[in-house]
């Protein structure tokens, strides 16, 4: 049945693709995004692809309780999909406190606002980085977690906070999705990954090299058990990730 869904970080790479899937499925979509690593234009493109507009866009920091309260007061939110977070491993090593403040603080502020306004369904965008240097593959939900950097640790911490709150607030229902390396773009060509500043992922770096914005791609590592010694990573298409979040909501 159609629902009104709040998508935090909805103008970002995965968030914008998820908004398309939600709109196409008949849901009403409210976005909260501070545009610190996204463009408002992406939401115009979301509406163009979906053929229908977003219900509302709120430009605000997810840690801002007054802004969150205003969103829940202005709209009959049924559920939340939470993407808003910082996500660069290297940056998290340089500014770990900022990552804990934004990622963990933003999540606790959001869940507190949800609880105060009687909203109890949340899909949380987590990360396979919580597994750390895994020795056994494939990974599953029972694989041991061992974060190796502040970014991964913030995602793991958020999962623990959410699990603990669920134990004490039985009406709260949360699904956390762990995934690696979303990549690609919408088939329309209107949405893709074009972060502000220097990209931290390989696909936007490659596209910037292809159009002449950068000269070369640096490849690190020459002793992996592969034909040329460079690393192999697993990727998942961003539209599949978006559909996964929509399905998790259902």
Whole-number pLDDT of residue 26: 97
Q: What is the pTM assigned to this prediction?
A: 0.94
Q: Is 235 a catalytic residue?
A: no
Q: What share of the chain is helix, strand, coil (3-state, %, to 5)?
A: 40, 10, 45
| pLDDT digits 0-9 by tens, 175-203 | 999 998 899 999 999 998 877 777 778 88
Number of Cβ atoms within 10 Å of the Cβ of 195: 16
Domain ranges of the chain: 4-183+236-249
What is the share, in percent, of the chain residues with pLDDT greater than 90?
82
* CA within 13 Å, CB half, 14: 28
Distance CA 234, CA 223 (A): 18
How much is the mean pLDDT over the chain? Answer: 94
pLDDT band at 233 (very low <50, low <70, confident <90, very high): confident
| pLDDT digits 0-9 by tens, 14-61 | 999 999 999 999 999 999 999 998 999 999 999 999 999 999 999 999
| Catalytically annotated residue among 100, 151, 224, 235 | 151
* Topology of the domain covering 4-183+236-249: Rossmann fold (3.40.50)
Whole-number pLDDT of residue 58: 98
* CA within 13 Å, CB half, 79: 20
């Amino acid at each position: 049945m159609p629902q009104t869904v709040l998508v935090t970080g909805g103008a970002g790479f995965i968030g914008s693709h998820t908004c398309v899937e939600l709109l196409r499925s008949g849901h009403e979509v409210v976005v909260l995004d501070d545009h610190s690593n996204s463009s408002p234009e992406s939401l115009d493109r979301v509406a163009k692809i979906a053929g229908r507009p977003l219900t509302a866009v709120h430009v605000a920091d997810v840690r801002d309780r007054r802004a969150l309260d205003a969103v829940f007061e202005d709209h009959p939110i049924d559920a939340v999909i939470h993407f808003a977070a910082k996500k660069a491993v290297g940056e998290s090593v340089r500014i770990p406190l900022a990552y804990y403040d934004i990622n963990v603080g933003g999540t606790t502020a959001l869940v507190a606002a949800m609880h105060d306004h009687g909203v109890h369904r949340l899909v949380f965008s987590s990360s396979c980085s919580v597994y750390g240097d895994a020795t056994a593959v494939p990974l599953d939900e029972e694989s041991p977690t061992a974060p190796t950097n502040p970014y991964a640790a913030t995602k793991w911490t958020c999962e623990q906070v959410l699990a603990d709150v669920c134990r004490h607030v039985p009406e709260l229902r949360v699904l956390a999705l762990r995934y690696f390396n979303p990549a690609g773009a919408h088939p329309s060509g209107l949405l893709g990954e074009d972060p502000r500043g220097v990209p931290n992922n390989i696909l936007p770096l490659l596209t910037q090299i292809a159009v002449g914005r950068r000269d070369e791609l640096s490849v690190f590592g020459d002793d992996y058990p592969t034909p040329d010694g460079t690393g192999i990573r697993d990727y998942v298409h961003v539209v599949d990730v978006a559909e996964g979040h929509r399905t998790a909501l259902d």
